[in-house]
Amino acid sequence: MVKSVIKKDLIATLKEASDVFKCCARKSKILAALAWRPEVVAEFFAKKESILPNPTYLIDKKEILSLLEELKSLEPKLQGEHPMLAWLRKTLESYQLGLSLLIAVETDRFFGISSQMYGNSKTKLFRGETTNLELAKAISQRISVCSLNDIGESFVQKSAIEFAVALEERVKKRKPLIPLKIEVTETIASKVVAGMNRVKLRKDARFSELELDSLWNHEVESHCLTAHNGNRHPYCDFLSAGGPRTTMTQEGLAVFYEVYAHTMSQNRFLSLCNRVEAVAAVEDGASFMDLYRWYQDRTDNSLDAFFNTQRIFRGAKLTGGAAFTKDVVYLPGLISVYNFLKYAVKNQNRILIESLVCGRMSLEDVSTIAWLRTHGIVEPPHYIPDWLKNWEGLLSFFSLTAVFDVLDLSNVNDYFDDQKLQDWDVAI
């Protein structure tokens, strides 16, 4: 047990760091700073898609330098061997990187900083040999074997306004209620963006019925939920944002819930794979126009192709060679969260899993958060996602997948090949 005087000192340091981190998160929202104004897309199509877009970024460099100074003054107070201090140092470094990224917008340094924050298409998984790009291609090749859009749920059915109404109804029914506002806007590139208190829908986007479940699990039951849980901690409410280093885990957690709840459509999964391939293409020299044409072959309309391309070029030079690499995190995030949960369930460690949803954090922070919880410094999660409420279902699922890891199933495909299933002619 930590001595009371040491615990008191830890809490004081944690609270001071939290106040600085929360200020950084509030004054340096990376995605908002890199967003393109609606006029950019309007001008692009008005000029018949013949010239590069001309985005402008309103970066308050004086404010950013001031925040960097605050972070620098905090550094000496975070020295020491305690795991909490190591966690706070990593968080500080993450905010320093995020602020440096904003200063480097449209410069040659932008891609390098983005790669430090999020990785890139060539980043290897778990220090192994498989890259993010290889993972994306492996998934997309398997999914592409099946025909797309052959079920009713995948057809586009709702406008953004209709979708907002359906989402609001679901928010009202959730217990306990997550305070949340649904907004339809023209100012985002993604179809949906979630903060702690609001979910924004792009005005011109269209949504299938399946996406209501998918985006509910991804945006509300994951992003909004962890943000609200993080905001409830008296000593470390910066967990409502967590910092750029938490992005991979948070997106991985959200994608895991989409898959686990059977709400991940083929098109949605392919779009996540396409994002990694798009980042790789830009790293290899593709310009905005090159990538835009590439996306035109993979989307239903030119507007979606534009917004998909825009995501990859936010803050970067449009001539190619450097990308905003955030979009590579979804798939490795999924793999890492899946394996973390499998490990935690195997060891019957429910507190460890609950700690994962106590706020926005990286997987490497979870054991520290669990320690802080057992010592009364961090609160248990107030909001629990449905996938975690059903502990027995989670246990059964990961028990089965753990068995698959140890069984020799090498001859299964040969068995089904012998049955000649491909030759069956079943009348419908």
Q: What are phi and psi of 65, to 5 degrees?
A: -65, -35
pLDDT of residue 363: 97
Q: Which two tokens stand for residue 169?
A: 């109804």
Where exactly are the structural domains of the chain? 4-412
Q: Is the pLDDT of residue 357 over 70?
A: yes
pLDDT of residue 300: 84
d(CA 125, CA 332): 7
Question: Model confidence over 129-157: pLDDT tens digits?
Answer: 999 999 999 999 998 877 655 555 555 67
Question: Model confidence over 372-418: pLDDT tens digits?
Answer: 999 999 999 999 999 999 999 999 999 898 888 888 877 887 787 77
Task: Report the chain's mean pLDDT, rounded to a whole number.
Answer: 92
Burial of 367 (0-12, 13-18, 19+ CB in 10 A): middle
User: With contact defined as beta carbons under 8 Å apart, do 279 and 121 qualify?
Assistant: yes
116's CB contacts (< 8 A; 6+ apart) are: 97
Q: In percent, how much of the chain has pLDDT > 90?
A: 79
Describe the chain by its helix, strand, coil percentages, rounded to 5: 65, 5, 30
Question: Model confidence over 320-333: pLDDT tens digits?
Answer: 999 999 999 999 99
d(CA 276, CA 137): 9
Q: Is the pLDDT of residue 426 over 60?
A: no
Please state the rounded mean pLDDT for residues 28-39.
93
d(CA 375, CA 272): 39
d(CA 316, CA 307): 15
Cis amide leading into 176 (omega within 30):
yes
pLDDT of residue 427: 55
333's CB contacts (< 8 A; 6+ apart) are: 247, 248, 249, 250, 251, 252, 253, 255
